[in-house]
A = this chain, B = another copy of it.
Amino acid sequence: MATSTAQSTPNKTTQDQLRAYVERIERLEEEKKVLSQDVTGIYQEAKSNGYDVKAMRRIIQIRRLDPQVAAELDELVDLYKHALGMV
């Protein structure tokens, strides 16, 4: 539990504190899950309107990067493609 003292004799306070932490985390994780489901729903909607989900995921990955970093990544991927005989 919370402290070395609490480890040997967990009391009501540390139990309540632990429970509060765990339940707060679980609520946030639940909210994250709902958001993830919303994201999945948007991808499905986009797909049903003819957009390619893999390409959209790639776009979102690229937009997340600094443009300089994205350009360097492109160069490295090209380099690796050549190294692996993929082009």
- Which residues of A are in contact with B by a Cβ distance under 8 Å? 1-4, 6, 17-18, 21-22, 24-26, 28-29, 31-32, 35-36, 38-39, 42-43, 45-46, 49-51, 56, 59-60, 63
How many copies the complex holds: the figure is 2
CB of B29 within 8 A of CB of A32, answer no
Give CA–CA (A26, B57) in the complex, Å: 10
Which residues on the B side are within 8 Å of A60 (C-beta)?
22, 25-26, 29
Which residues on the B side are within 8 Å of A2 (C-beta)?
49-51
**Of B17, B50, B56, which is within 8 A of A22 by CB?**
B56
Which residues on the B side are within 8 Å of A17 (C-beta)?
49
Shortest CB-to-CB span from A38 to chain B, Å, is 5
Which residues on the B side are within 8 Å of A45 (C-beta)?
21
